Amino acid sequence: MHEQHLSVRACFTAGLLLTGALYLLHADDIPRRIVLIALGLVTITLSLRRFFYRILLYNRFDRGVDTRNILIVGTGPEAHALRHHIESIRHLGYVFKGFIAISGSPASMASSTGDVVGALDSLFQHARLRFVDEIFFTAPCERGVVQDVLDQARIHGIDLRVVPHLYDGLAWNAPIEYIGQFPTIPLHCGYVPQFGNFLKRTVDIIFSSLALVLLSPLLLLIAAAIKLDSRGPVLYASERIGKKGRVFHCFKFRTMVRDAEKRRADIMHMNERDGVLFKITNDPRITRIGRVLRKYSLDELPQFLNVLLGDMSVVGPRPPIASEVREYKLSHLRRLDVKPGITGLWQVQGRQDPSFDSYVSLDVTYIENWSIWLDFKIIVRTIGVVLAGTGS
């Protein structure tokens, strides 16, 4: 309601300025009725736009999309008050991930259910494990400690906020920002390429929509071939790990027999990849039509639906399964900082390389050097890879 009130007030102010300008310019040929109608329509449409945008945004927050994960340093009353405030106002988009205890600070209010995830010396390890976007400092401690955390936050690209009475001169000119009704002082705000993210999402929607429309005859043909080749559903939806550890269902054309997952343990000794990857060239579970689909990567075409749903991007690291992520080292989690993709740098540059380190290295290289031009080059090279039939 506050945002709607500000919108109406802004439109009213703009209307006053417009009528004042018309009066000073003696624009008598412009009917005042037209001005009032235009002002009313702008106010109504702007209010409706913001209303529906908020509904869409809150719906995404409820599904865990575009939320911001936070850690709270401290276990005292202020920390619990902040947690309660954030969790009671769901539309803020914050997700509480735990408390960080400080030695010597009162911890009488700390929950025994695992809310305290670690100590201050392991703060950024826990931030990496939980894909934390912001850290809130609520515990009283020495200025040097906060300064050290601030330096590390800048290195890791994590936002850092403190409650006002803790800043101790660290940010004399920093404004007080309210999280709901809770005052905080931002000491560091990481760079977020909002325009780049918007551009990438726009390209994803346009490209995936065109792909599904133009390839619809091929998709129907593949679906019919799968149905005639073997018993079972046409599509296979597997649980994959997406951005910031979010679980989603990844769609693919079914290329294996129906009980493929149950038979996986029996063929683990045939794995041709190292580390946490699992890949067998002549997997006995693959159907006849499945071998053709995999050779030309046609089994992955339904993932354009995942792109439209916002779970994936056209270009990005491949989405891993949960069993792989459980074996990740801390540094491997870097590849989960972005949305997974249908294709990526590894698919066009190192697909036949069995090394998991190379797999992660190429994904991290893509993340750190991302650009729309890089996405375009990867898409063009992917078309060549598909036509050459070098898929698995």
Residues pairing with 118 in the sheet: 100
37 and 132 belong to one structural domain: no
77 and 214 belong to one structural domain: no
Q: Exposed, middle or buried: residue 356 (CB in 10 Å: 0-12, 13-18, 19+)? A: middle
CA 271/CA 305 separation, integer angstroms: 30
Let me know: does 91 contact 60? Beta carbons within 8 Å. no
176 and 45 belong to one structural domain: no
CA distance readout (Å), 80 to 99, 210, 229, 276, 303: 9, 49, 58, 39, 41
300 and 369 belong to one structural domain: yes
Of 41, 62, 83, at which residue does a domain stop?
62
- Mapping DSSP to helix (H, G, I), strand (E, B) and coil, where does residue 157 land? coil
Let me know: does 259 contact 77? Beta carbons within 8 Å. no
199 and 335 belong to one structural domain: yes
CA 87/CA 213 separation, integer angstroms: 42
Of 22, 46, 62, at which residue does a domain stop?
62
Residue 203, pLDDT score: 93
CA 302/CA 212 separation, integer angstroms: 8
246 and 310 belong to one structural domain: yes
Let me know: does 110 contact 99? Beta carbons within 8 Å. yes
180 and 322 belong to one structural domain: no
Let me know: does 314 contact 375? Beta carbons within 8 Å. yes
Residue appearing with tokens 């129907």: 220
CA 115/CA 117 separation, integer angstroms: 6
Residue 124, pLDDT score: 92
CA distance readout (Å), 315 to 23, 303, 371, 372: 55, 11, 11, 10
Q: 38-62: buried (b, 16+ CB within 10 Å) or exposed (e) per residue?
A: ebeeebeeebeeeeeeeeeeeeebe
Residue 271, pLDDT score: 61
Half-sphere exposure of 115 (CA within 13 A, CB side): 19
CA distance readout (Å), 183 to 137, 139, 166: 12, 15, 12
Residue 377, pLDDT score: 92
- In total, how many domains does the chain have? 3
At 305, which amino acid appears? L
199 and 331 belong to one structural domain: yes
Pick from 354, 332, 352: which is nearest to 274 by CA? 354
97 and 115 belong to one structural domain: yes
Residue 260, pLDDT score: 65
Task: Write out the two tokens for 212.
Answer: 């599904």
Of 192, 217, 247, at which residue does a domain stop?
192
200 and 288 belong to one structural domain: yes
Residue appearing with tokens 């046409």: 234
73 and 57 belong to one structural domain: no
Half-sphere exposure of 96 (CA within 13 A, CB side): 21
45 and 76 belong to one structural domain: no
12 lies in which domain range? Answer: 2-62
At 261, which amino acid appears? E
Hey, what's the torsion of the CAs at 276, 277, 283, 288, to 10 degrees?
A: 140
Segment holding 101, helix H or strand E: strand 94-101
Nearest-10 crossing angle of helices 194-214, 216-229: 60
Displacement of CA 176 from its chain's centroid (Å): 27
pLDDT per residue rounded down to tens, the chain (392 residues): 667 777 888 888 888 888 888 778 777 777 778 878 888 888 888 888 888 888 888 888 888 788 899 999 988 888 888 888 888 887 788 999 999 988 765 544 545 446 888 888 899 999 999 999 999 988 777 778 888 888 888 888 899 988 776 555 555 456 677 777 777 778 777 777 788 889 999 999 999 999 999 999 999 999 999 988 888 889 988 899 999 889 999 999 998 877 666 666 666 656 656 556 666 666 777 888 988 888 888 999 999 999 999 999 999 999 998 888 888 888 888 889 999 999 998 888 766 666 777 788 888 889 988 989 999 999 998 888 787 766 55
Let me know: does 45 contact 82? Beta carbons within 8 Å. no
